[in-house]
Structure 1
């Protein structure tokens, strides 16, 4: 297996060259499995989640959900609203995963993103966000941070 610096170089080169075959390769996704909490890898994850030229958004969303990284709230919010044309349904599973990832972060910034998603014109995304808000307190064990909003 390649060392961390080599994997990071390959992934950043793929991003610069917009090389979907490299991004979709297990090597880049392995980088997130093994070194996902490294700030350089998290930044790469945001850039790749925002990129529209590859088809690994669901895997990236899954890694970001698992990491529960509060620095990634804005990227997850944007990904929740994006349409993914390479999926027959526009990527609804990816968008659902991003709402789960926001809820799993569990801090105030992530919480505040969910009501904004509830106002989305995409009814499915709005419903996903509503479900995460409705289950916020019940799902506390899943959360990285324990933000307890006043829900009255």
Structure 2
């Protein structure tokens, strides 16, 4: 049975301020809404954060993302539903989220720089880092989605 854990936003609301600021800045970055949401959903799936997966899938659907693409995210490498640019972003999301396995490969990094340029690569990396922070908070405090979010 799940034991209640602290709500960091209530216990230490100032701790959330820089994360909210980063998230806000990323919504105004070179990333499209769709790209940002793909990063958030895929990162959350990898990290097993049910709260974030539910929240970002709901947001993506509300913003017009196709459900078949969302369902294909865990299998994006075998799926025909993502553009070459999205595939680079998803590969970066996986490598940076699983950073301890082998880091962000030079090959993928160079492909991203060639495709997007330095500013967008910086935005992609920061978006991946941002969702990983949220996921770690969610997992450490056992946040779960509300049943009414369905």
* Higher helix proportion (structure 1 or 2): 2
